[in-house]
Structure 1
Amino acid sequence: MKTSALFTLASSSGVFAHYSFGKTISNGVTSTEWEFVRMTTNHWSSAPVENVSDPQIRCYEAATRDSAKVLTVAAGSKFGFKSNNSMGHPGPILFYMAKVPAGQDVTTWDGSGAVWFKISQSGSIGTDYPQFETNMSEFFTTIPAALPSGQYLIRGEHIGLHIAGKPQFYLACAQVSVTGGGSGRPTNLVSFPGAYSMSDPGLSLNIYSAKGPYTYPGPPLWTGR
């Protein structure tokens, strides 16, 4: 499909197929839906969050949901989410983590405050026209090897940029217990909401006319040091 045609379609309808991320992938094993992921508000509609100031931008948790279990993952291992539909929107993939404070439990902690650090960002494959990988149904990160052991939330996010100035946020949070960790101290901590602004270059751009490399939104990556 030509760029002009794609832009016309995105502008007129604003809708391709939406998606949600209810399954985890760890050690090559795909979980059942919502087994380790907090059920999201869009578990029926697959609709995105569209306001960066909405508290739902944190984990998109459904108001009424069963408690998810806790997945044991090793520091340095590969971790992913599986989508319920093909991820057809162009845009970046980002992963954040947040450590559960001492004395609290990952199954009940709400993840509020400046506790989130970014561990990976990917998807951009272009320069002058920042094209993105699309139509995948799984997306992955690596748990930093230096991450201290303990309970964490892992926030996986795909941002649809197909409508200029109106980013769509597809996201979910998994509950994990990290083992075999190191002595790293995560930095560049942010809160959700708070980490993003609608005026951020990576959110406000028109991908069909943008020039130069894509600027990922959010804080700098924590590299495990």
Structure 2
Amino acid sequence: MKAFLATLTVVAAQLAAAHYTLPDLIANGTTAADWVYVRTTQNHYSNAPITDVNSTEFRCYELDMNATPGQTSIATVEAGSTIGFKADNDFYHPGYFSAYMSRASPAANSPEAGTGQTWFKIWEDPPVFENGALVFPSESMNEITFTIPKSLPSGQYLVRGEQIALHVASSVGGAQFYIGCAQLNVVNGGDGAPGPLVSIPGVYTGYEPGILINIYDLPANYPGYTSPGPAVWRG
């Protein structure tokens, strides 16, 4: 029995090591400590992904959807600056990366922020189809960075980093989502009109060809990877 329990412990540790969270905001040239500006997620210990794209928890995967926002600080950043997320592990799984933002009302640290049709995509890093196979962003990296559009109006926002891991995505519900939401106050912005706007959850059905896919057995006439969700707004 002891040997069996020890084996289970090792397996659980290996699974956690293969997964990750996105606890650290990269902004203003520095990487913040864990969960200072990023809302603590339910998987902050287990590192397990969320797979239900229709769950209300899919928005930011907070530990407590009511309490966590108010317990998280708000980072002040400039429009046009580079921000991002650092993971607590390497991105072991091949997948698609993206970042969304939402104007936060009444504030970035309120539970109501991001609950409507307010989200827009500002960045993506999809796999490239070459020589009959998908080539994914490096699995040895542990951070993603992107630029806040310079014309984004000043104000408070949520920014949501996401990886859709596709290593077991050949059946519905197989894709694994790794999510982090940081709270921002954007200054020195412009007069842009972000869009198209989507709701999260609601942005995906789970049946998109970029989510429901067998990356190891692509069809002969495969046209290349199709990014799920809206087009990127670049300002």
Number of residue pairs matched by the alignment = 210
TM-score, L = length of structure 1: 0.88
User: Secondary structure, in 3 states, of the residue corresponding to 1:56?
Assistant: helix
Question: Which of 185, 196, 205 is matched with 2:193 structurally?
Answer: 185
User: Secondary structure, in 3 states, of the residue corresponding to 1:204?
Assistant: coil
Q: 8 Å contact 1:159–1:168 — kept in the other structure?
A: yes
Question: Which of 136, 150, 153 is matched with 1:148 structurally?
Answer: 153
Which runs of structure 1 show a deviation greater than 4 angstroms over 4 or more consecutive aligned residues? 13-16
Shift in Å, 1:119: 0.4
User: What's the counterpart of residue 19 of structure 1?
Assistant: 20
Gaps of at least 5 residues in structure 2 are: 1-13
User: What's the counterpart of residue 217 of structure 1?
Assistant: 228
Between 71-80 and 209-218, the greater mean CA deviation after superposition = 209-218
Q: Distance in 2 between matches of 1:113 and 1:156?
A: 18
Q: Distance in 1 between matches of 2:81 and 2:18?
A: 31
Shift in Å, 1:197: 1.1
Question: Which of 91, 97, 120 is matched with 2:101 structurally?
Answer: 97
* CA pair 200-16 structure 1, distance change in 2 beyond 3 A: farther
Gaps of at least 5 residues in structure 1 are: 1-12
Identity %: 42
Shift in Å, 1:72: 0.7
TM-score, L = length of structure 2: 0.85
- Deviation per residue, 1:40-96 (Å, 9 max, x gap): 010010100111111111000002647111101111111010000111100011000
* CA pair 15-26 structure 1, distance change in 2 beyond 3 A: closer
Q: 8 Å contact 2:161–2:179 — kept in the other structure?
A: yes
Q: Distance in 1 between matches of 2:15 and 2:164?
A: 14
Between 61-70 and 183-192, the greater mean CA deviation after superposition = 61-70
Between 36-45 and 205-214, the greater mean CA deviation after superposition = 205-214
Pair member with larger Rg = 2
- Deviation per residue, 1:174-206 (Å, 9 max, x gap): 000111101000111111110001110100111
Q: Distance in 2 between matches of 1:131 and 1:206?
A: 14
Shift in Å, 1:15: 8.3
Q: 8 Å contact 1:23–1:35 — kept in the other structure?
A: yes
* CA pair 37-14 structure 1, distance change in 2 beyond 3 A: closer
User: What's the counterpart of residue 5 of structure 1?
Assistant: none
Q: After the TM superposition, which residues 140-179 of structure 1 pair with which residues of structure 2 at under 5 Å, given as runs?
A: 140-163=145-168, 164-165=170-171, 166-179=174-187
Q: After the TM superposition, which residues 45-124 of structure 1 pair with which residues of structure 2 at under 5 Å, given as runs?
A: 45-63=46-64, 65=68, 67-101=71-105, 104-108=106-110, 109-124=112-127
Shift in Å, 1:14: 8.7
- Residue 126 of structure 1 aligns with an amino acid whose one-letter code is F
